[in-house]
Amino acid sequence: MPILVDNNTRLVVQGITGREGAFHTGRMLESGTRVVAGVTPGKGGQEAQGVPIFNTVGEAVRETGANASVIFVPAAFSGDAIFESLDAGIETICCITEGVPVHDMLKVSNYLPLKDATLIGPNCPGVISPGKSNVSIMPRDIFTPGNVGVVSRSGTLTYQVVNELTQRHIGQSSAVGIGGDPIIGTSFVEILEKFEADPETECVVMIGEIGGNAEQLASEYVQGEMRTPVVSYIAGFTAPEGKTMGHAGAIVSGGESTAQAKSEALQRAGIRAATNPSEVGSLVAEALGVRS
């Protein structure tokens, strides 16, 4: 059973007429996603790839019943785009845009608890539930429906790990890229809670990286609350201290932010920890008790 997006997802694309929005709308439509609306201010009444365009998210929701949004709006306006989706009653919001100002995300993070919504991102690949709905920029051809949940700070590592699973004939229930910025809408723990509540997700893969303490908080949750087995991989063992590696939130500041400290915390919590992405598949097979 998928989390966040499924066959009932009715998607609105914010920024549907931009280059990235148009390209990925086509890919999501090809995946079978129900893209019911697009939003570009000033272009209401037009269509893009057969999808009606509205001037505001509120109009799109009223006219189409959209319950999810994906944001391809430029970084300077992404904060406002998130607020617009929240105020329109959207349940699942995926902000793909990178470079969203931290001050904008501070405002969003203060407002988000007032709404019954889940924000994924920013600076993330989105969410995909294979065979059901694709609200993401992820390459759908590497995914296959199944019973393994995936949650990750890294888009690229998500693709690699999912490909390893699929090659072993291990399918995925949902894959969620939460993003790698210092301030994001949804944590590892919040996604792990959703997978734990899903009776059809039999194992979860958690992909972390250097910087912050999100993985340690997740390990505490897994140890105290989860029965579903978790396999992990932490990227950045060779990252020099003080160096930002890929994501704005991936910076080693010593102590618990290093890959070694994170991996040790996960192992103490009983989480199987891979030493490289290719090892994840075998650990998942072991956790599921299957031969692959």
In angstroms, rounded to a whole number, what is the distance separating the alpha carbons of residues 12 and 3? Answer: 18
SS3 state at 182: coil
Task: Give mean pLDDT, residues 124-131.
Answer: 97
- Residue 259 pLDDT greater than 80, yes or no: no
Residues whose CB falls within 8 Å of the CB of residue 176, separated by 6 or more in sequence, listed in order: 3, 4, 120, 127, 149, 150, 151, 152, 186, 191
The confidence band for 242, taking pLDDT boundaries of 50, 70 and 90, is low
1-122 homologous superfamily: NAD(P)-binding Rossmann-like Domain (3.40.50.720)
Predicted local distance difference test score (pLDDT) of residue 215: 87
Q: What pLDDT, in 10s, does the model give residues 96-105? A: 999 999 999 9
What pLDDT, on a 0 to 100 scale, did the predictor assign at position 261?
Answer: 76
pLDDT (tens digit, 9 = 90+) per residue, 188-199?
999 999 999 999
Q: Which of 79-83, 122-126, 252-256 has the lowest mean pLDDT?
A: 252-256
pLDDT tens-digit map of 8-46: 999 999 999 999 999 999 999 999 999 999 999 999 999
Q: What per-residue confidence (pLDDT) applies to 150?
A: 98
- SS (HEC) of 141-169: HHCCEEEEEEEECCHHHHHHHHHHHHHCC
Query: Quick check: 87 pLDDT over 60?
Result: yes
Could you tell me which of 262, 288, 291, 285 has the C-alpha nearest to residue 275? 262
Residue 191 CA to residue 206 CA, distance in Å, equals 10
Say how far residue 25 (Cα) sits from the centre of its chain. Answer: 17
pLDDT digits (tens, 9 = 90+) for 143-189: 999 999 999 998 899 999 999 999 999 999 999 999 989 999 999 99
pLDDT-above-90 percentage for the chain: 78
pLDDT of residue 250: 45
247 is catalytic: yes
Query: For residue 2, which amino acid is it?
Result: P
The pTM of this model reads: 0.91
pLDDT reported for residue 240: 53
Write down the domain spans for the chain: 1-122, 138-292
Q: State which fold the 138-292 domain adopts.
A: Rossmann fold (3.40.50)
Instruction: Check whether 2 has a pLDDT greater than 60.
Output: yes
| Active-site residue (options: 24, 103, 169, 247) | 247
Tell me the backbone φ, ψ of residue 166, rounded to 5 degrees.
Answer: -60, -40
Candidate from 83-87, 111-115, 235-239, 263-267 with smallest mean pLDDT:
235-239
pLDDT band at 238 (very low <50, low <70, confident <90, very high): very low
Rounded Cα distance between 185 and 188, Å, is: 10
Average confidence score pLDDT of the chain? 91
Q: Do 138-292 and 1-122 have the same topology in CATH?
A: yes
Residues 97, 78 contacting (CB under 8 angstroms): yes
What is the structure's pLDDT at 257? 65
**pLDDT at residue 251 above 60?**
no
Q: Where are the beta strands (DSSP E) in the chain?
A: 11-14, 35-39, 47-48, 51-54, 68-71, 92-95, 118-120, 126-129, 133-136, 145-152, 172-177, 203-209, 230-235, 272-274
More confident site: 154 or 125? 125
